[in-house]
Amino acid sequence: MTLHIYDSMNRKPEPFVPLTPGKVNMYVCGPTVYGYIHIGNARPVIFFDVARRYLESIGYEVNYIVNFTDVDDKMIRKADEEGITVPK
């Protein structure tokens, strides 16, 4: 089975061809943990985990890296609103 990915520039699905045959590298921006989880920050976590599992199931060796942002403007602003420091 060939995986196809929609190419928005060509406006059609194109066969997925990894840079290194049999291997896929994924760097995914994970959630920014500044408050309660919601669908907006849960969706990419779930989507890319499912994509990784699918690629593995069809035989690719996947190097999967997820970035968890633990300090940024949203966290600092939320901490200020609650009168606490970011490490708490």
**pLDDT by residue (tens digit) across 53-72?**
999 999 999 999 998 766 67
What single string gives the DSSP state of each residue in 18-76?
Answer: -SBTTEEEEEEEEEE-SSS--HHHHHHHHHHHHHHHHHHHTT-EEEEEEEEE-SSHHHH
pTM value?
A: 0.71
pLDDT greater than 60 at residue 88 = no
Residue whose token pair is 């699905």: 13
> In the structure, what pLDDT confidence band is assigned to residue 84 with cuts at 50, 70 and 90?
confident
Which residues contact residue 63 at a Cβ distance below 8 angstroms, ignoring those fewer than 6 apart? Answer: 23, 24, 25, 26
Q: How far apart are CA 62 and CA 23, in angstroms?
A: 6
List the domain boundaries for the chain: 18-82
Mean pLDDT of 8-15: 97
